[in-house]
A and B are shown apart, each in its own frame.
Chain A
Amino acid sequence: AQSVTQLDSQVPVFEEAPVELRCNYSSSVSVYLFWYVQYPNQGLQLLLKYLSGSTLVKGINGFEAEFNKSQTSFHLRKPSVHISDTAEYFCAVHGYSTLTFGKGTMLLVSP
């Protein structure tokens, strides 16, 4: 079975500040991990994914995430956020055929 825990439901941050959105997972199968972003009233857009190889994964819009097997974490980071990054971010783990999502973290960027 798979599960994903996103520890923060909301993360407020000022523009140009760094941000980290936390994600912990558990999985009984091979670990494929994803971050998706959802802008208001829109679908989910893939930010980045970890399948294998380098534990530091770079995605779109300046985001990156680091896979840490010993801590079963896949935290998302951005060194300097923009107002336009305000959205909900979902971490997900891929099981046999489906995705298991966390409850999401709302990133609120203010000027």
Chain B
Amino acid sequence: NAGVMQNPRHLVRRRGQEARLRCSPMKGHSHVYWYRQLPEEGLKFMVYLQKENIIDESGMPKERFSAEFPKEGPSILRIQQVVRGDSAAYFCASSQGEQETQYFGPGTRLLVL
């Protein structure tokens, strides 16, 4: 029974490049959440998606960041034209329903040089 899977686990990008982070939810889960963890801070909510729909993106920066959860395949968090301030750990979580317990993946640690 695989848990939430994220890849890559580590990603290095130069300023101006694009970063694509992938998340496969637990089997049977159709709700996906993305959180960002900056150094010495807690996790901050970014976006909440169900299949093919963005439910809540109130935590997403207005520019350069986008997320999708297609009918088939993993959820993708995309960061265009990365800057050094984007360096962080990005965690994905999934749940069976909106008010259900969220289970977290191992995270993707993004380093922007």
Contacts and interface: CB of A to CB of B under 8 A. Distances in A.
A98 B45 contact: yes
Interface residues of A, number: 23
A106 to B, nearest CB: 10
Contacts, number: 55
Contact of B106 (A6, A42, A101): A42
A96 B33 CA distance: 13
Interface residues of B, number: 26
Contacts of A74: none
B104 interface: yes
Interface in A65-111: 90, 94, 96-104
What 9 A-B pairs have minimum CB-CB distances, sorted nearest first? A101-B42, A44-B104, A43-B106, A103-B42, A98-B45, A43-B104, A101-B43, A43-B107, A97-B98
Interface of B: 4, 6, 33, 35, 40-45, 48, 55-56, 59, 91, 93, 98-99, 101-107, 109
Interface of A: 4, 6, 32, 34, 36, 41-46, 49, 90, 94, 96-104
8 contacts: A4-B42, A43-B105, A43-B106, A45-B104, A49-B101, A90-B42, A98-B56, A99-B43
